[in-house]
Amino acid sequence: MKISKQQKLENRRKIIESAVDLVIEKDLKSATMREISRHAGIADATIYNYFPTKEAIVYGYYEDRFDHLIDQIKAIDEFHTFSFQEQLQTVFETKLELFTADREFLQKTFKMTFFTLSQHYARIKPIKAKFVAIMDDLFESAIEVEEIPEQVFRELIIQFFWEYYIGVVIYWLNDRSDRFEETTVLIDKTMDLACSSIKAGIGNKIFDIGIFLFKNHILGRMELIKDHVDTIHGIKKKFMEGR
């Protein structure tokens, strides 16, 4: 029986939701694929059409959450008028807001998922790719309106933001303050610093210094070496030519 794409998405969502419930109730280790499919109202065998393992469901959850984030951001009318920092901050705050309902699930699965060995890196790659796509978007539009300079090390900086994101979520998961205000303050202050540096083009400046040093000093040294090499070549040539 062929089912619609719509139905497929719905099933996928149900499975993930069911896994979240069961993990919150017990933990990932004790939840079985069978239990998850039962709780989701899906046939035992069918669940494997969607996810090969229960870990895969967890990865699926995190990947879906980024799509959800994009939808939420799009619903904010004024977002496009925000400054670069305000946009970044809103993305992070909204992400946490979306995580709030599933906080317990995250407490049991987040660290294990993202502090991973390189062999499992392939599983995280699609999740990270979504994050990177959002960041790229924000950087691109900020550069377009000349709010920030073109960043020489953009990929590196976004990589830094990924690590920062992981850190913030873990901080948030341990935050016991009212309305998670301490995390809000952390994000506000660190974004200040990060965005000031980006705006000031510090990365670029460091790059410029590097180029300067390279050109003036290292290349210069290499000229000397080159001269020596030429001399040696000359001698060798003469020798070989029997002069």
Instruction: Say if CB 173 and CB 110 are below 8 A apart.
Output: yes
Min CB(57)–other proteins separation in Å: 28
Min CB(21)–other proteins separation in Å: 22
> What residues make contact with other proteins under the rule CB under 8 A?
75-78, 82-83, 85-90, 93, 97, 177, 179-182, 184-185, 188-189, 192-193, 196, 199
Q: Which is nearer to other proteins, 22 or 191 (CB)?
A: 191
Min CB(200)–other proteins separation in Å: 9
Q: Which is nearer to other proteins, 124 or 204 (CB)?
A: 204
Q: Which is nearer to other proteins, 116 or 177 (CB)?
A: 177
Instruction: Say if CB 169 and CB 175 are below 8 A apart.
Output: no
Min CB(189)–other proteins separation in Å: 5
Q: Which is nearer to other proteins, 178 or 241 (CB)?
A: 178
Q: Which is nearer to other proteins, 76 or 112 (CB)?
A: 76
Min CB(181)–other proteins separation in Å: 4
The closest alpha carbon to 76, from 85, 86, 66, belongs to 86
